[in-house]
Amino acid sequence: LILLRQESGLISANVGEEVTLSCFCEDEFASKYYWYKQTLGQKPELISMSYKCETNVNFHGEFQNNSRFTLDNTNGRNHLRITDVRITDTATYYCAHSRSYKIEFIEGTTLSVKGSGLNFQLLINQSASETTKHGDAVTLSCTVHTGTCDGEHSVYWFRNSEESHAGLIYTQGDRNSSCPRKPNQQSCEYNLPIKSVDHSHAGTYYCAVASCGHILFGNRTKVIITGDEFKLIFLLERGIFLGIKVMSWKNSLSVVVLTGLVLKSGVRPVRYETETFKKWSRDQDRFRLL
């Protein structure tokens, strides 16, 4: 039972715009509600705390007396509004609630703020989608055009899929090292290799770069996996053989009976062997082959 709902995912905004991060409170036993901000590579910061059934809001730290941050905590809402957004507002924001001494979090919302006048831009050097076969390898590239910015780089990779919202999966570089490049070149390339892909790697990938006091997100790249299939071979009593091939796990289920005999009632399988077995996606949980 979900008693706290947050509109999670990735939100993009331009400098100076206004954004609202939505959170709905449906837990009648919760007594306090919170908002946290987590900048890449930093520990979470408490933004606000409010009591249930009260309109008063306590803002903390740098968010105190900051008119850009307001909270709508009426009628089961705990919506955080940020006006005149800035580059420094780029972060992941978490809504939380507490029961007694326990604080519960749900998946956060990542806010990416883009502005004009920056001295470098971020590009993803590949098509909007990458299609690869099951078991093959694929490499995602992120090229940073630094312009006049010669500072350090930290690169972060996020993945968003149907089974989970956007989350950090890998970090490259650190704040104490700049990217390697040739003389007279103003770009760096970072790669994310994925070996022996399976359906769990499918999704949308984002590259984010922290450099020269800014954090920017690149264009998204969608990874599509094809050829995900498995075969089941059942060895039954009395020499009866039945082969079933299940294909296209994501979009459709095609069952091809290769060889079969009519089974008498009461015939039970004594063992089965799996030639190639891949995890079911949640779309196929309703199918029971055994």
To the nearest whole percent, how much of the chain has pLDDT over 70? 58
Examine residue 94 and state whether it is found in any structural domain, yes or no.
yes
pTM: 0.49
Report which of 217, 207, 93, 194 is spatially closest to residue 158, judged by C-alpha positions: 207
As a whole number, mean pLDDT of residues 246-272 equals 36
Which of 69, 42, 74 lies closest to 58 in space, CA to CA? 69
Look at 19 and 277; give whichever has higher pLDDT. 19
Residue 70: per-residue pLDDT = 94
Query: In the structure encoding, which two tokens stand for residue 4, read together?
Result: 């706290």
Position 236 in a domain: yes
**In a 10 Å sphere around its CB, with 0-12 CB exposed, 13-18 middle and 19+ buried, how is residue 231 labelled?**
middle
Tell me phi and psi for residue 11, to 5 degrees: -120, 130
Of the listed ranges 63-72, 110-119, 147-156, 163-172, the least confidently predicted one is 147-156
Range of lowest pLDDT (103-112, 176-185, 238-247) = 238-247
The per-residue pLDDT for 255 is: 33
In this structure, the answer to whether residues 159 and 211 fall within a common structural domain is: yes
Lowest mean pLDDT among 49-53, 95-99, 122-126: 122-126
Q: With beta carbons less than 8 A apart as the criterion, state whether 91 and 38 touch.
A: yes
Range of the domain at 145: 121-226
The domain spanning residue 89 has which CATH number? Answer: 2.60.40.10
Q: How far apart are CA 138 and CA 133, in angstroms?
A: 9
- Chain center to CA of 210: 18
Q: Are 158 and 112 in contact (CB under 8 A)?
A: no
Tokens of 9: 């995912």
Q: Are 67 and 162 in the same domain?
A: no
Residue 232 pLDDT level (bands cut at 50, 70, 90): very low
130 & 82 share domain: no
**109 and 136 co-located in one domain:** no
Token couple for 199: 């359906």
- Whether the CB-CB separation of 221 and 254 falls below 8 Å is answered with no
244 within a domain of the structure (yes/no): yes
pLDDT tens readout for residues 179-190: 555 555 667 778
267 shares its domain with 221: no
The model's confidence at residue 252, banded by pLDDT at 50, 70 and 90, is very low
Kindly state whether residue 165 falls inside one of the protein's structural domains.
yes
